Amino acid sequence: MKNRKFKCLIFIVLMALLSSCMNDDALRDFHRLVVRHDEKAVFIVNEGNFMYGNASLTFYNPKSGEVQNDIFYNTNALPLGDVAYSMQIRDSLAYIVVNNSGKIYIMNVNNFRYVGKITGFTSPRHILFLNSHKAYVSDLYARSISIIDPETRQITGKIDIDDHTHDFNRHSSEQMIRFGDFVFTNSWSYDNKILIIDSRTDRLVDSITVAKQPNSMALDKNNKLWVLSDGGFQGSKYGRAMAALTRIDANSRKVEKVFLFADSLASPNGLTMNPALDSLYFLYNSWAGGKIARAGLYVMAVNDLQLPGEPVISQNNRMFYALGIDPSSGHIYLSDAIDFVQRGKVLIYSQRSVLLDSLRAGIIPSAFCFR
């Protein structure tokens, strides 16, 4: 009996070693999920737990209410990786940025099948397509933006964004917004800058100072760039400041207005726009969805002269973590991370904040991609 248990133990250890050495390019003939979806869809990127490799992707059909979890793994027998952060669709391909795994997986959005990958990143965050042969990939730690060719799936260059003067000014890059020939990116980690890249020369050409730790941006119908800053971490060497919403004229690159949040514990995030580009939406809570007074989803018209005082959807006992606005319907997608361990929840509201549907996604739903 003991010998049998010992043999079983050896078998388990060998299987674990084999799986850990498996080349993720060597996909097995494994298609448990065989689908064909070419209609309107919402993809929910679930980041999973840091260092656990349990990121996943959820499919939601807003017309039928159909939900399919773990679509990447269940189609390809391939784990998505460690901390899936964002996703963009170009033509029929989805580019899923997997932050801590340092790669971008490419998936066919109609049948969820693996198409390829791009590697060589340090800590990638977002991808911005400029044309069929050039895209930018932002990075939390690399101090540079990678230039890739989507056709060859190779890194073709780097844009140095480090000013090399001080540790706190060693810029990172996050979200990217294109405005004519220029790209704005927010340097969030221990920084207070919006960096401006000339896409013709692939060079850093300017920067704008905003409140500490700009975490998200949006461009409105009047060509005003809005920047939401969380104010930094309590007790960090960089210091903590009041969270703020900043309005910048994208043409002149001048700061026009700074709206300061009153609660020193507030860490608002997730700034986005409605389809008409005349209203701002953002989440108002504390770090990682923590509780503060009047936490929830806030809406502010671009012509308002002050910050809104009450949420349109209260957080209550939930843990709001991510926000997305459907660019066609204007429907509001809110994720509830719950306890950051179990599968999170996604709540779908109308533009008038009426609950339309809800679903269970993966662990920590953190981004929405609309097709």
- Round to whole Å and give the CA distance between 112 and 9: 36
Burial class (CB in 10 A: 0-12, 13-18, 19+), 344: buried
pLDDT computed for residue 19 by the predictor:
46
pLDDT computed for residue 15 by the predictor:
41
Domain ranges for the chain = 30-86+320-371, 120-209, 215-317
pLDDT computed for residue 165 by the predictor:
53
Residue length, the chain? 371
- For 94, the token pair is 């989805």
Query: Residue ranges of the chain with pLDDT lower than 50?
Result: 1-22, 26-28, 31, 166-168
Burial class (CB in 10 A: 0-12, 13-18, 19+), 265: middle
pLDDT computed for residue 237 by the predictor:
80
pLDDT computed for residue 357 by the predictor:
97
How does pLDDT run across 56-111, given as a tens digit for each residue?
999 999 999 999 999 999 999 999 999 999 999 999 999 999 999 999 999 999 99
In the sheet that holds 67-68, the strands lie side by side as 67-68, 56-60, 42-46, 365-370
Residue 63 amino acid letter: K
- Residues whose CB falls within 8 Å of the CB of residue 361, separated by 6 or more in sequence, listed in order: 44, 46, 58, 69, 335, 343, 344, 345, 346
Q: Does the predicted model carry a pTM greater than 0.85?
A: yes
pLDDT computed for residue 33 by the predictor:
61
pLDDT computed for residue 287 by the predictor:
74
- Topology of the domain covering 120-209: Thrombin, subunit H (2.40.10)
